Amino acid sequence: AHVSFVLMVNEAIIEMHHVSKTYPSQISALSDITLEIFPGEFTFISGPSGCGKSTLLRILFCAEKPTSGEVVIHGMHITQSGFKNIYQLRRRTGIVSPDFKLLRDRSVNENVAFASEVIGQGRKEAMEKASEILSRVGLREREKDSIFALSAGEQQRVAIARALVNSPPLILADEPTGNLDTQTTFEVMEILRDFHRKGTTVVLATQDTGLIRHYPHRVIQLLDGKLVEASSGDFQRSEE
């Protein structure tokens, strides 16, 4: 059956309603989270280590299921029993993990192209798209290099390129600048902001309060798995 992903005007791209996550050890990672994020927003998920930021992003990417509550992404009710559209969801959602998760035995270009190949694109087209996106993140001249030859900042740029190569409307970034120096952090943020300005919705989890102060975007703050503060998103929309 054909599945439509067209969002209505002013319809949230992400909705969470009373979402909680408790692990078998009885550790409560998230408690009664309700929030909305709209297309074109750049939103920080902030809070100290262990507050539930990563768990929230993993739920949004269908890498984990909440214990209770409802989650709607791209108009799809992903928490309904029998939800089978994880493949379509992930085609429309880019993910950047803190540990990059790059393929060590492949070149820079092959790492990025892999994201297109796994959704059925031919290798030639996938490699061409990878080259284009690597140009946008400033790594075109490194595309044939081994991952081992790259600095941490360059590896993070590869991870971002891989997340964005299929032009998803939504990107989830978990501590993308966590292990980077100040200059590289600035470069990575400018790449994400550039894609945001062109219409991509960005949700970025970070415990770096300095980063949040520097960039005037919407902030959703977590503490001990609870939502304690959420600023308005009215001024964060992208230009398109």
Q: Could you read off the pLDDT of 23-66 as tens digits, one per residue? A: 998 889 999 999 999 999 999 999 999 999 999 999 999 899 99
The DSSP H or E segment spanning 134 is helix 123-136
pLDDT-derived band at 195 (thresholds 50, 70, 90) equals: very high
Which among 25-29, 99-103, 158-162, 234-238 has the top mean pLDDT? 158-162
The confidence score (pLDDT) of residue 189 equals: 93
**For residue 232, is pLDDT > 80?**
no
pTM of the predicted structure, to 2 decimals: 0.88
Residue type at 186 in one-letter notation: F
* pLDDT higher than 90, residue 106: yes
Burial class (CB in 10 A: 0-12, 13-18, 19+), 148: exposed
Tokens matching residue 62: 């269908």
Q: How does residue 237 score in pLDDT terms, banded at 50, 70 and 90?
A: low
Per the listing, tokens 């929309």 go with 237
Q: What is the mean pLDDT of residues 130-142?
A: 93
| Banded pLDDT at 170 (limits 50, 70, 90) | very high
Partners of 37 in beta bridges: 14
- For the chain, give the mean pLDDT: 89
pLDDT at 64: 92
Q: For residue 2, what pLDDT is reported?
A: 40
**Percent of the chain predicted with pLDDT > 70:** 92
> Count of residues for the chain?
240
- Average pLDDT (64-71) is 95
The residue-averaged pLDDT of 83-102 equals 85
Nearest to 46 by CA among 173, 169, 170, 184: 173
